[in-house]
């Protein structure tokens, strides 16, 4: 039973989003020391951020773990950051003084898809709105979402008089109407039978049902299913033979996907039984869609594949093995598309470390939270009776020179405090050796040995409450006793899987138009593997200090096959990083031509001279001045949302050990997917447990499984 003394000593292991969100909430009260006598965060290496960490390399360039953008539905995450920026109080005129300086709206998405053997673009210019993320707006219920989808169905299929200002699909629909006229289908023929007789009837039927699903009559749901089944059949009949036209096909896919989802939700009984979408996670989303009538065209579309790519939803990183729990997929898709505030995406105006973790660190330091860098967790030990974590062993990676009382983690780039890509060696006794040997203190395979005897933290002496924020990929190595003692832990570690990811960043001399990209600045998804996702991040150029011209910054990411190499395989990081480099070069020899025709050779390869290279290399050698990485470490791998695994996730208040609280994207949280919003929610839930509050207190969008 969780019943710590007051005041309690709190130790937090790991400095990622979940851990820091927990620290933020438990210290929000200026009188927090009445409940907690101390809060100390232990972090390996030199920086905070976990999988979201970034660093500044040569020329002040931003080096990320992957593609870091925020989504407009991140209600909890944005609320936390708005409060952090307000409290941090940077003077006006300084870089990123306000949260609105740090995040800017982005509404253009380009989905890519192969149809009949050729790559085709699916542009989605999703309309901005006047809502502000993090303002405390509520989240619609599942039934309200169903109603909204049916309203959108009417807009997509039916309304020939759609006002483009009223719907984010308006622009697409206007284009579709022109195409329908051009190919001779005629709006009356295309809309009359389907829209007037079916969609309008369905909408009227739904409008006549009680607002509270608890008052629904089962026969009303049966009638809905009949109408949706007929509508799907009419859709297939109407569009037979016309799907080679991109706009017509996109309209069809949007409608077909929506119909299948509504059919699936209604037939599952979730609404009548007031059950969360977690119940659908026993099956894969593709299988679920097929079972509810989705066509092969929809299954193979950029709309579906793009979500799998976005969430790295491939077993072992193998793109031939897509796998994504249907409930988690559907929940994420609903929130992403129907509840975004301001814009569907918000692009950060500096690195993730600069924009997120720098301000958080500054605020928590001012509040009195202590940070212990260069402390790598080695093992958690369970008490003899199995009730508590009795001690934690940490390895000391480096020590401070006598003239430093604490480690200053920042460097300054263009007047902005930033995390460097390597430690500030000049502050460390071992700095020269670390630099000379090019040691990565974040690597699971580092040959570097501890520089002092292990530090053992003891329950009741050094901590009363232990918060574990280290990802599940590390648990076989640091939580072996927990796994051996408790079946819930062993089940979670066995079932909640992770995957490698890879990333590539390019700095180019031409701007987007000069590269030959013919639409708006994109976030693009579902293109050629393994670098299937691309974002134009040229807004970051002003934050860097290149000595040679840079007009465009391009971030790519995707999955990579393979697991976690053995601990003794010290060659693994270099070997796998080289594999990413070779994969990137191979990709760039074949695939940029479709995206950047003005910066490519006739056979589709990148014109290497377009890359920015202060070293003036020739040909492919210019790639050496770019950035690439593989995330193979247990702490860095992406946590998957595979079918049949949600039930194995542990929740903050369900750890089986009385003094242990957990947080992170690997825990059960309302999103159950690897994203900042779900991780922040996990951190807030952990804090609520520590504060003795209901676990869902102030967690916007919380639902019970």
Strand partners, 627: 505
Instruction: Provide the pLDDT for residue 168.
Output: 42
d(CA 238, CA 232): 10
Residue 306 phi, psi dihedral angles, 5° rounding: -60, -35
Instruction: Provide the pLDDT for residue 165.
Output: 36
Instruction: Provide the pLDDT for residue 160.
Output: 28
Instruction: Provide the pLDDT for residue 241.
Output: 79
Q: How confident is the model at residue 197 (pLDDT cuts 50, 70, 90)?
A: low
Place of tokens 């409930």: 327
Instruction: Provide the pLDDT for residue 153.
Output: 87
Residue 124 phi, psi dihedral angles, 5° rounding: -130, 105
> What are the helix (H) ranges across 109-157?
142-153
Could you report the per-residue pLDDT of 221-271, keeping only the tens digit for each?
999 999 999 989 888 887 777 889 898 899 889 999 999 999 999 999 999
d(CA 666, CA 660): 15
| Percent of the chain residues topping a pLDDT of 70 | 94
**What would the mean pLDDT of 658-674 be, rounded to a whole number?**
97
**What would the mean pLDDT of 518-537 be, rounded to a whole number?**
97
Instruction: Provide the pLDDT for residue 704.
Output: 63
- Least confident segment among 9-23, 192-206, 317-331, 457-471: 192-206
Contact 656, 385 (CB under 8 A): no
- Which superfamily, per CATH, for 8-57+352-496+649-691? FAD/NAD(P)-binding domain (3.50.50.60)
Crossing angle of helices 326-338 and 142-153, in 10° steps, is 70
Checking if the pLDDT of 350 tops 50, the result is yes
Where in the chain do CATH 3.50.50.60 domains reside?
A: 8-57+352-496+649-691
Instruction: Provide the pLDDT for residue 182.
Output: 42
d(CA 388, CA 640): 29
Compute the CA torsion angle 695, 697, 703, 705 (nearest 10 deg).
10
Mean pLDDT value across the chain? 93
d(CA 504, CA 522): 16
Q: How confident is the model at residue 531 (pLDDT cuts 50, 70, 90)?
A: very high
**What would the mean pLDDT of 124-136 be, rounded to a whole number?**
94
Instruction: Provide the pLDDT for residue 191.
Output: 42
Could you report the per-residue pLDDT of 2-50, keeping only the tens digit for each?
889 999 999 999 999 999 999 999 999 999 999 999 999 999 999 999 9
Q: How confident is the model at residue 432 (pLDDT cuts 50, 70, 90)?
A: very high
Instruction: Provide the pLDDT for residue 199.
Output: 82
Q: How confident is the model at residue 170 (pLDDT cuts 50, 70, 90)?
A: very low
Could you report the per-residue pLDDT of 406-425, keeping only the tens digit for each?
999 999 999 999 999 999 99
- Least confident segment among 228-242, 562-576, 685-699: 228-242
d(CA 125, CA 355): 26
d(CA 619, CA 30): 58
Instruction: Provide the pLDDT for residue 156.
Output: 79
d(CA 367, CA 36): 12
Instruction: Provide the pLDDT for residue 161.
Output: 31
CA 689 to chain centre: 25
Could you report the per-residue pLDDT of 546-557, keeping only the tens digit for each?
999 999 999 999
Nearest to 574 by CA among 489, 447, 408, 410: 447
Contact 384, 403 (CB under 8 A): no
**What would the mean pLDDT of 572-593 be, rounded to a whole number?**
98
Q: How confident is the model at residue 430 (pLDDT cuts 50, 70, 90)?
A: very high
Q: Which residues of 497-516 are buried (b: 16+ CB within 10 A; e: fewer)?
A: bbbbbbbbbbbbbbebeebb
Contact 605, 592 (CB under 8 A): yes
Could you report the per-residue pLDDT of 59-99, keeping only the tens digit for each?
999 999 998 899 999 999 999 999 999 999 999 999 999 99
Checking if the pLDDT of 177 tops 70, the result is no
Instruction: Provide the pLDDT for residue 192.
Output: 38
Checking if the pLDDT of 163 tops 50, the result is no
Give the largest CA-CA distance in the chain.
82
Beta strands in 420-525 (DSSP E): 452-458, 465-468, 498-508, 523-525
List CB contacts of 440: < 8 A, sequence separation 6 or more: 446, 573
DSSP 455-472: EEEEBTTTBSEEEE-S-G
């Amino acid at each position: 039973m969780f019943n710590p003394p007051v005041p309690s000593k709190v130790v937090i292991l790991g400095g990622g989003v979940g851990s820091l969100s927990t620290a933020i909430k438990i210290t929000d009260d200026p009188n927090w020391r009445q409940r907690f006598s101390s809060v100390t965060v232990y972090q390996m290496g030199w920086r905070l951020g976990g999988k979201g960490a970034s660093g500044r390399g040569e020329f002040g360039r931003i080096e990320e773990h992957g593609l870091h953008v925020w989504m407009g539905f991140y209600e909890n995450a944005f609320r936390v950051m708005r409060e952090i920026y307000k409290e941090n109080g940077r003077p006006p005129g300084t870089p990123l003084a306000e949260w609105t300086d740090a995040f800017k709206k982005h509404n253009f998405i380009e989905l890519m898809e192969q149809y009949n053997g050729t790559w085709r673009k699916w542009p989605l210019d999703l309309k901005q709105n006047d809502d502000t993320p993090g303002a405390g707006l509520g989240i619609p219920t599942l039934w309200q979402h169903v109603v909204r989808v049916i309203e959108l169905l009417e807009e997509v299929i039916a309304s020939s008089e759609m006002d483009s200002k009223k719907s984010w699909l308006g622009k697409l629909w206007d284009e579709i109407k022109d195409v329908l006229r051009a190919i001779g289908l005629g709006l009356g023929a295309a809309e009359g039978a389907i829209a007037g007789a079916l969609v309008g009837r369905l909408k009227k039927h739904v409008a006549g049902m009680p607002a509270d699903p608890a008052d629904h009559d089962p026969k009303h749901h049966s009638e809905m299913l009949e109408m949706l089944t007929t509508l799907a059949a009419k859709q297939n009949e109407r569009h037979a033979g016309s799907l080679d036209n991109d706009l017509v096909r996109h309209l069809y896919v949007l409608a077909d996907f929506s119909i299948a989802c509504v059919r699936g939700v209604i037939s599952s009984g979730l609404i009548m039984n007031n059950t969360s979408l977690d119940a659908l996670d026993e099956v894969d989303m593709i299988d679920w869609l097929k079972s509810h009538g989705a066509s092969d065209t929809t299954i193979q579309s950029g709309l579906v594949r793009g979500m799998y790519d976005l969430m790295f939803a491939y077993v072992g990183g193998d793109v031939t093995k897509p796998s994504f729990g249907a409930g988690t997929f559907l929940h994420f898709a609903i929130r992403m598309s129907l509840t975004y505030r301001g814009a569907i995406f918000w692009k950060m105006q500096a690195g993730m470390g600069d924009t997120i973790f720098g301000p958080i660190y500054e605020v928590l330091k001012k509040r009195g939270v202590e940070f212990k860098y260069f402390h790598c967790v080695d093992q958690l030990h369970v008490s003899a009776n199995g009730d508590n974590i009795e001690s934690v062993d940490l390895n000391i990676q480096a020590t401070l020179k006598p003239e430093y009382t604490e480690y200053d983690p920042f460097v300054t780039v263009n007047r902005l405090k930033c995390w460097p890509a390597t430690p500030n060696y000049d502050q460390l006794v071992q700095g020269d050796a670390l630099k000379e040997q090019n040691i990565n203190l974040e690597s699971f395979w580092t040959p570097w040995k501890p520089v002092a005897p292990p530090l053992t933290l003891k329950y009741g002496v050094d901590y009363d409450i232990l918060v574990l924020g280290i990802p599940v990929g590390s648990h076989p190595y640091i939580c072996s006793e927990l796994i051996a003692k408790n079946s819930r832990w062993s089940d979670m570690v066995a079932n909640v899987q992770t995957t490698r990811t890879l990333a590539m960043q390019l700095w180019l001399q031409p701007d987007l138009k000069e590269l030959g990209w013919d639409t708006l600045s994109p976030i693009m998804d579902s293109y050629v593997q393994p670098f299937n996702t691309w974002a134009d991040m040229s807004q970051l150029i002003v934050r860097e200090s290149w000595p040679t011209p840079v007009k465009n910054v391009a971030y790519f990411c995707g999955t990579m096959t393979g697991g976690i190499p053995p601990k003794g395989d010290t060659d693994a990081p270099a070997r796998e990083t080289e594999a990413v480099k070779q994969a990137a070069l191979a990709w760039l020899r074949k695939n940029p031509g479709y995206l950047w025709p003005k910066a490519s050779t006739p056979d589709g390869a990148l014109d290497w001279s377009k890359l920015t290279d202060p070293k003036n290399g020739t040909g492919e050698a210019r790639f050496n001045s770019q950035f690439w990485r593989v995330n193979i470490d247990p702490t860095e791998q992406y946590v998957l949302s595979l079918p049949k695994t949600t039930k194995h996730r542990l929740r903050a208040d369900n750890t089986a050990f009385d003094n242990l609280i957990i947080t992170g994207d690997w825990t059960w949280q309302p999103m159950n997917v690897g994203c900042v919003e779900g991780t922040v929610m996990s951190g807030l839930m952990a804090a609520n447990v520590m504060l003795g509050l209901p676990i869902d207190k102030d967690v916007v969008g919380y639902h019970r499984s």
